[in-house]
Amino acid sequence: MQTLFVELGERRYPIFIGSDLDPQQLLEPYIHGQQVMIVTNETVKPLYLNHYVSAVEGLGKKVETCVLPDGECYKNIEHLNLIFDALLEAGFNRDCTVLALGGGVIGDMAGFASACFQRGVYFIQVPTTLLSQVDSSVGGKTGINHSLGKNMIGAFQQPQVVLADMAQLKTLPERELSAGLAEVIKYALLGDVDFLAWLEENMDGLVAQHPELLAEAVYRSCAHKARIVANDEKEQGERALLNLGHTFGHAIESYLGYGEWLHGEAVATGMVMAADLSYLMGWITEADLERTKIIIQRAKLPIKCPQIPLDEFLAYMSHDKKVLNGQLRLVLLKSLGQAVITKEFDVELMKQAILRNQA
C-alpha cells in the first residue's frame, strides 16, 4: 500500500492506494460519530456494499445505506434529495459520516449532500472507478449537473480520507477504464512530460489492467493533483489547469445529454481540441499534436465527437465555470507537459479546432 497526503493544514487527509485494502482498519480513525450513511449505486451495490457495511458495523457503528440509480443522467437535484431523505428518515444528526462508495457521480453527489446536510457533516471517499480514483475523489469538488451546464451547482467538501483499491478495478468495464485513462493522460499533458513518456511505454499494460501499472498511474496522478490542490484549494489560479480539455468536453456532454458519452470520453476529445488550438496558435508542433492524438487513441478513447452545431457548442462553452467577467478562459498547451490558463486566444482558431475534430 502507498500513502499520499493532501496538505491542507488542519484538514490534511490521506489517500491510501493499494490492492485488497482493509476498510475496517483504514477507516477507523476517520469515521466520526456513531452514524454512517453509505451512498452507492445499483451497479456497485452487489459487488462491494456488504463488504463495507460489515467493515463499518465491525467498528460498532450504526450503518444505513442509500442506493441510487447508476449514471451521469441521475446526477441532479431530484436524486440528490434521495440522499437527504435517507439521512432524515434514519434520524441522522450533525455528528455523522457520509461514505461515498462508487464512481465520480456517487462521490460528487454524496459529497455535496454531506456539505449541505445540517450545514456540513463528515465525508469519506471510496472511489471504485479509475476516473474517480485519479481525479474526482481527490480535492473536494462536489456537485450536480444542470440542463444548462455540468457541475454548475455544488460545494467544496474535502473528505477525511480516500481509499483507492486497485482490486475494485477488476470489475470495471473496458469503456469505463478507458474513461479513467483520459484523466491520467491529462496530468501528463498539463504538467509532466516524463509521465507522458511513461504512459507511452506502458499504455498497453494499463489497458490490459495490469494492477502494478494501474497503481503507479493512480499514485502519480493523485500526487500531481494533491500538490495543486494544496496550493490552490478553491481554484483561484493554478487548480484551473486541471480542467485541460474540460471546457470543450463539458460542452460535448451537455449537448449529447449526460451519460451518452462518458465524462472521460468527452474530456479526451476536448483535450484534442485544446491541443489542436494550441497547434493552430503556433504553441505546439504538428508532431506534438499527433503525439497527443496517438496516446489518446491507444487508451481506446475517441479523438473526434459527433457533429454538433457550432453555435450550440459555443453556447454551452459560455456556461463554463472558467468564464470570468464574461470572458472565456481556456487551458491550452505551451508545450507538452506545460499548460497555461489564458483568455488570449483567437476565437476563429478556436472555432476551427472545434470543427476540425468532429466526426
Q: Amino acid identity of 16?
A: F
> Are the beta carbons of 229 and 140 closer than 8 angstroms?
yes
250 is catalytic: yes
12 is catalytic: no
Per annotation, catalytic residue among 225, 293, 322, 329 = 225
Give the whole-angstrom CA distance, residue 126 versus residue 98.
11
183 is catalytic: yes
322 is catalytic: no
Q: Amino acid identity of 11?
A: R
Per annotation, catalytic residue among 41, 145, 151, 243 = 243
Give the whole-angstrom CA distance, residue 230 versus residue 232.
6
> Are the beta carbons of 35 and 124 closer than 8 angstroms?
no
225 is catalytic: yes
DSSP structure string for 145-210: EETTEEEEEEEE---S-EEEEGGGGGGS-HHHHHHHHHHHHHHHHHH-HHHHHHHHHHHHHHHTT-
141 is catalytic: yes
Dihedral sign of CA atoms 90, 94, 99, 103 in order:
positive
In Å, the largest CA–CA distance within the chain is 61
79 is catalytic: no
239 is catalytic: yes
Per annotation, catalytic residue among 233, 235, 253, 265 = 235
Phi, psi of 333 (to 5 degrees): -110, 120
Per annotation, catalytic residue among 150, 220, 263, 329 = 263
Q: Amino acid identity of 288?
A: D
Per annotation, catalytic residue among 61, 75, 79, 141 = 141
Per annotation, catalytic residue among 186, 224, 246, 321 = 246
DSSP state of 241: G
Report residue 112 CA to chain centroid gap. 14
Per annotation, catalytic residue among 119, 286, 325, 344 = 119
Per annotation, catalytic residue among 150, 186, 224, 239 = 239
Per annotation, catalytic residue among 61, 79, 186, 250 = 250
Per annotation, catalytic residue among 72, 176, 183, 265 = 183
Q: Which residue has the cell 503556433?
A: 282
**Residues designated catalytic:** 119, 141, 183, 225, 235, 239, 243, 246, 250, 263
